[in-house]
Amino acid sequence: MNRIDPAAAPYEPAIAEALARIMPAGMEPLRLFRTLARNPRVFGKLFAGGLLDKGALSLRQREIVIDRTTARLGCEYEWGVHVALFAEKVGFGPAEIAATVDGAPDAACWTPDEQALVAVVDALVDRRTIDAATWARARRHFDEAQMIETIALVGYYHTISFLCRGLDLPLESYGARFR
């Protein structure tokens, strides 16, 4: 049972345009997006603040940050959607996928720069700050713009995780599962 029933097509024009822009052709909009469409203001603000466009981080780096954040926050819904839609595109195999959920920051499947990203995510999720050693390690690999984007991604997907878990969204049928 849904806590809030997802909106159904036809959507308001601004929502329909945003969904068409972000969803692959022929794929039904995510339950999360359709549920957020019940509040067009929140929907619009979250979509305006989205970070899925080309940014300072590579697509693979972005997905490491998103997958690790959502996994650490227990958000199987969002983690599963991202793994299903992006893991193959960014070259994640079973080891990388598992490491986003259970692996240590220095898991052997990650390169040194990726290990630094995972450590930043873990610091922010666990302590809501980045200690000096973790910051210095990450700065050896990432410039200022990349660091700001990393922190913003963790924060954004913290919010997305809260929405998914607070709304108790059922998992998408095609989404990956933690186990």
Q: Are residues 146 and 95 in the same domain?
A: yes
In this structure, are residues 154 and 120 in contact, taking their beta carbons and an 8 Å threshold? yes
Residue 102 lies in a domain: yes
As a whole number of angstroms, the distance between CA 153 and CA 155 comes to 5
The model scores a pTM over 0.85: yes
Check residue 54 and give its pLDDT. 79
Residue 174 lies in a domain: no
Give the number of domains in the chain.
Answer: 2
pLDDT digits (tens, 9 = 90+) for 51-86: 677 789 999 999 999 999 999 999 999 999 999 999
Query: What domain range includes position 28?
Result: 13-48
